[in-house]
Structure 1
Amino acid sequence: MIQTFINLIGRAFGLLMVVCLGLMVLMVFGNVVLRYGFNSSITMSEELSRWLFVWMTFLGAVVGLIQHAHLGTDALVSRLPAVGRKVCFVLAHGLMLAMCWFMFDGARQQTIINLQSTSAVMEVSMAWLYGSGLLFSVLAALVIVHELWKFFTGQLPDAELIGIVGSDDMPHGLSPVAPGTDAAQAKERT
């Protein structure tokens, strides 16, 4: 049930990222046309584009975490025995949880500080901008805790102990397969 919720968040955020990117392109393109063609502009387009970019970045970070598409290196971990990979998995996830806490605390402080501050053009509370960090840290922590729960309950296969999707060592034409997906499970059976 939790995995279904996490996957739903990933799909919803993917769609929100598409909407954010589409709005950014429309606003910037519209502003260019208005400036050069009609000597006018949309006043809020630059500021709103910047806000959408910040939100899109944090939404994308959550999606990347869900899909194990974040950057990483497995040069050491892949050469360790199963016990070493398990220790590294728990240690890495513990460090990521600590970073989520630091991110949450910093974003919370900035949100509180900027509750009364408004943006220059849109005159919207700056807390909405810093709220993106709050949302990211909470959802990222949820994903990490869920992976730790799967690990400690024995539901996490050994193939998923290395939680990155790498393509450096793959021949050209092959795409990496995210752990936990149907394609990854099919690959393990072969």
Structure 2
Amino acid sequence: MVLLLAAMVVMVFGNVVLRYLFDTGIDVSEELSRYFFVWLTFIGAVVVGRQNAHLGVETLVSRLGERGRKLCMVLSDLFVIGCCAVFFWGTWQQAEINATNYAPITEISMLWVYGVGFFASIGLGLMAALRILRVLTGRLSDHELRAFAGDYSDDEAHTLRGHLE
């Protein structure tokens, strides 16, 4: 992600400088920076999913007990898996079309751009499935269950202790 972001910054900043100083730009960098942004967004979604940091509404879940929280967690993860399956299927259906469409400037197959749907759907779906498995086998940590309900008090205490030491 850092490399994609750095490349985007270099390409966009370079184009701004070239347009300002020489009234020209590099067309390839415009196209590639757009594609890098797409990949950066989807890779970021998977990374944030791994850290359980996606937006959530904990108003109801925080009022439930342990069993209710686990039920909500499993239900939300089943919903995530369903969405990932639809996303994967849509990417699969479009793959042949995207493989034969080429970018106007770089002439790379658009499957390299839109194929990120495979990565994101598999990554997020596997993480949700593994979390369901941890819930069902009793291996879900108390910290993860509290974080699902919006309780990050352990994180704050740990961070505060780390700063004081």
TM-score, length basis structure 1: 0.76
Task: Give, in angstroms, the shift of residue 161 of structure 1.
Answer: 2.7
Match of 1:119 in 2: 103
Match of 2:13 in 1: 29
Equivalent residue letter for 2:126: L
Q: How many residues align?
A: 159
* Mapping of residues 60-71 of structure 1, within 5 Å: 60-71=44-55
Q: Percent identity?
A: 45
Match of 1:177 in 2: 155
Question: What is the rounded CA distance, in whole Å, between the counterparts of 2:103 and 2:146 in structure 1?
Answer: 42
Structure 2 residue corresponding to 1:151, chosen from 130, 135, 148: 135
Question: What is the rounded CA distance, in whole Å, between the counterparts of 2:84 and 2:127 in structure 1?
Answer: 11
Matched, 1:136 2:114: no
Task: Tell me if the contact between 1:74 and 1:162 (Cα under 8 Å) persists in the aligned partners.
Answer: no
Question: What is the rounded CA distance, in whole Å, between the counterparts of 2:128 and 2:80 in structure 1?
Answer: 8
RMSD of aligned C-alpha atoms?
Answer: 2.4
Q: Aligned pair in 2 of structure 1 residues 177, 106: CA closer, same or farther (>3 Å)? A: farther
Comparing 52-61 and 153-162, the one that deviates more:
153-162
Task: Tell me if the contact between 1:69 and 1:165 (Cα under 8 Å) persists in the aligned partners.
Answer: no
Q: Secondary structure at the match of 2:115?
A: helix
User: Which has the higher relative contact order, 1 or 2, with Cα contacts under 8 A spaced 6 or more apart?
Assistant: 2
Task: Tell me if the contact between 1:70 and 1:164 (Cα under 8 Å) persists in the aligned partners.
Answer: no
Q: Aligned pair in 2 of structure 1 residues 176, 81: CA closer, same or farther (>3 Å)? A: closer
Task: Tell me if the contact between 1:115 and 1:127 (Cα under 8 Å) persists in the aligned partners.
Answer: yes
Matched, 1:54 2:38: yes
Equivalent residue letter for 1:177: D
TM-score, length basis structure 2: 0.87
Residue ranges of structure 1 left out of the alignment (5+ in a row)? 1-16
Task: Tell me if the contact between 2:81 and 2:128 (Cα under 8 Å) persists in the aligned partners.
Answer: yes
Question: What is the rounded CA distance, in whole Å, between the counterparts of 2:35 and 2:154 in structure 1?
Answer: 32
Map Cα deviations across residues 3-60 of structure 1 (whole Å, 9 max, x no partner): xxxxxxxxxxxxxx11111111100111111112123211211110100000000000
